[in-house]
């Protein structure tokens, strides 16, 4: 009687052990699934950041490409180290400027009258970024951005207006 | 008799665990697929936008070279030596070009992508209407 | 004794069926994960290729197809008919030996006088084209 009872106890323990292993394996698979989703979501988020920032600036340059209205420099007032892209336009005889720059962890855009005296923090935040810089050689502008994943991407745009030939 | 009571909770627990796990896994798989599909749509649109712009740009260059060769069609308007024309980029944008030509010399005054759709501001006000 | 054996057998059978059911559903879900991951990688690759191609195309237009000027603008290698840039798997500029992706820009002729073409293609190690761009510029 006692031997039979012991046998049954071993059987039950074995069964419970099997169930425990089963549950552990299921948990492992679920964790793998969650990790896969996290990886894909992170990849898509990084790709969005890289793609959007540079394409946005390139599109802006193309929307202002006339009469040498596109140029780079430092922020208009008080912050010489802020590399800025200037997109100028004339509205009712007055010169207005859209400035795109990186400041304090974000890409900013500031639309104001030229020499408005506004500061970098007065602009609108466009998106998060680790850095943004502009280089100009004649009509060739290179946009250099530091992405949130630590990589650096570059996009070059040729400003067609002001060019010519014979 | 005692054993049947022990085996039923074990079976039930296992079944519930499996059902829960399958549900979770399916939800994760669906989430991953939908996130990736959304990104794919954006990526496709971005690549297509680039191709559309360069197609319009090439067309504009062709028209410019025609102007330089003395050929102009009805889409090109000329006023005081300034030639203007536009090439469609896509449904919402077109490439507007202005060239100043003086003999053999030419200068690009404008090579600008402009929006062809009207932007209508949302002027509705969410006003409390009582009930 | 027989009854208890039958019950254990029943429990094991139920476990086996549930295991099978779980294995089948996992197989389907894992396929979805793998497909999504691969497609995300592909999208990211194409986006980076589009950027690289745009830069080469813009340099080609700015330099009017002159190989030396294009290679100076982009720090690229000069070729007979254009320029070539090499990128590693993270799309950072690198040398030909470590290249995973190649961006080639080359000047071409057209039927129209004063018009030349500049063709850009981005290829991987197996010479598969990831992204292609054709643009044109004015010749003097």
Give pLDDT tens digits for A114-155.
888 888 899 999 998 999 999 999 899 999 999 877 888 899
User: Best of B30, B86, B112, B119 to disrupt the A interface by mutation (most A CBs within 10 Å)?
Assistant: B112
Q: For C108-134, what is the mean pLDDT?
A: 94
Chains contacting A (3 or more CB pairs within 8 Å): B, C
Residues of C in contact with B10 (CB under 8 A): 11
Tell me the pLDDT tens digit for each residue of B27-70: 999 999 999 999 999 999 999 999 999 999 999 999 999 999 98
B113 with A63: Cβ contact below 8 A: yes
Q: What is the ipTM metric for this complex?
A: 0.85
User: What are the residues whose beta carbons fall under 8 Å from the beta carbon of B29, sequence distance 6 or more?
Assistant: A33, C28, C29, C32, C33
Alpha carbon B44 to its chain centroid, in Å, reads 8
Q: Is the pLDDT of residue C112 over 60?
A: yes
Dist. CA A85–CA A111, nearest whole Å: 12
Q: What is the DSSP letter of A150?
A: S
Q: What's the number of domains chain A is made of?
A: 1
CB-nearest partner of B33 from C4, C32, C115? C32
Give domain status of residue A6, yes or no: no
Task: Please tell me whether residue C50 adopts helix, strand or coil conformation.
Answer: helix
The alpha-carbon gap from A93 to the nearest alpha carbon of chain B, in Å, equals 18
Residues of B in contact with C7 (CB under 8 A): 3-4, 7
Place of tokens 């002159």: C66
**Chain A / chain B CB contacts < 8 angstroms:** 91
The answer to whether residues B115 and B92 touch, using CB atoms and an 8 Å cutoff, is yes
Q: How confident is the model at residue A16 (pLDDT cuts 50, 70, 90)?
A: confident
State which residue of chain A sits closest to B115, comparing Cα positions. Answer: A63
Determine the pLDDT at residue B28: 92
Q: Is the pLDDT of residue B10 over 80?
A: no
Q: How confident is the model at residue B2 (pLDDT cuts 50, 70, 90)?
A: very low
Give domain status of residue A76, yes or no: yes
Please state, for a pLDDT cut of 90, what percent of chain A lies above it.
46
Chains contacting C (3 or more CB pairs within 8 Å): A, B
Element housing B41 (H / E): helix B2-68
Alpha carbon C55 to its chain centroid, in Å, reads 16
Q: Is the dihedral of CA C84, C90, C92, C93 positive or negative?
A: negative
Q: How confident is the model at residue B18 (pLDDT cuts 50, 70, 90)?
A: confident
The alpha-carbon gap from C35 to the nearest alpha carbon of chain A, in Å, equals 10
Tell me the pLDDT tens digit for each residue of C12-33: 888 888 889 989 999 999 999 9
Dist. CA A163–CA A165, nearest whole Å: 7
Domain that holds residue C74: 2-138
- Does the beta carbon of A37 lie under 8 angstroms from any beta carbon of chain C? yes
Give domain status of residue A41, yes or no: no
- Does the beta carbon of A51 lie under 8 angstroms from any beta carbon of chain B? yes
Angle (deg, nearest 10), helices B2-68 and C2-62: 10
Domain that holds residue A114: 49-158
The alpha-carbon gap from A78 to the nearest alpha carbon of chain B, in Å, equals 31
State which residue of chain A sits closest to B104, comparing Cα positions. Answer: A166
């Amino acid at each position: 009687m006692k031997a039979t009872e012991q046998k049954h106890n071993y059987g039950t323990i074995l069964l419970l052990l099997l169930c425990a292993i089963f549950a552990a394996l299921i948990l492992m698979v679920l964790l793998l699934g969650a990790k896969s989703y996290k990886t894909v979501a992170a990849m898509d988020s990084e790709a969005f950041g890289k793609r959007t920032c540079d394409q946005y600036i390139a599109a802006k340059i193309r929307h202002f490409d006339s009469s040498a209205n596109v140029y780079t420099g430092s922020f208009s007032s008080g912050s010489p180290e802020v590399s800025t892209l200037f997109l100028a336009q004339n509205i009712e005889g007055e010169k207005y400027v859209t400035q795109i720059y990186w400041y304090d962890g974000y890409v900013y855009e500031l639309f104001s009258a030229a020499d408005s005296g506004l500061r970098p923090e007065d602009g609108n935040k466009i998106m998060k970024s680790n850095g943004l810089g502009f280089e100009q050689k004649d009509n060739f502008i290179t946009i250099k951005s530091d992405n949130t994943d630590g990589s650096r991407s570059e996009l070059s745009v040729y400003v067609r207006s002001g060019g010519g030939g014979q | 008799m005692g054993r049947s009571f022990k085996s039923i909770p074990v079976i039930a627990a296992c079944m519930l665990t499996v059902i829960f796990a399958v549900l979770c896994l399916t939800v994760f798989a669906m989430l991953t697929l939908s996130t990736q599909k959304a990104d794919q749509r954006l990526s496709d649109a971005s690549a297509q936008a680039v191709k559309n712009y360069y197609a319009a740009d090439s067309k504009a260059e062709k028209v410019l070279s025609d102007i330089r060769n003395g050929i102009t069609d009805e889409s090109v308007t000329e006023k005081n030596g300034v030639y203007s024309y536009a090439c469609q980029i896509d449904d919402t944008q077109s490439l507007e070009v202005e060239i100043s030509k003086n003999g053999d010399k030419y200068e690009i005054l404008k090579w600008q992508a402009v929006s062809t759709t009207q932007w209508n501001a949302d002027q509705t006000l969410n006003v409390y209407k009582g009930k | 004794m027989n009854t208890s054996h039958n019950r254990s057998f029943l429990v094991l059978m139920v476990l086996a069926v549930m295991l099978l059911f779980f294995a089948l559903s996992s197989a389907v879900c894992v396929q979805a994960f793998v497909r999504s991951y691969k497609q995300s990688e592909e999208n990211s690759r194409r986006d980076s290729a589009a950027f690289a191609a745009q830069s080469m195309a813009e340099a080609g237009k700015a330099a009017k197809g002159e190989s030396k000027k294009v290679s100076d603008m982009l720090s690229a290698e000069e070729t007979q008919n254009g320029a070539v840039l090499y990128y590693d798997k993270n799309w950072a500029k690198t040398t030909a030996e470590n290249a995973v992706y190649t961006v080639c820009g080359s000047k071409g002729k057209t039927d129209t006088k004063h018009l030349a073409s500049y063709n850009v293609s981005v290829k991987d190690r197996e010479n598969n084209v990831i992204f292609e761009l054709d643009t044109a510029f004015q010749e003097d």
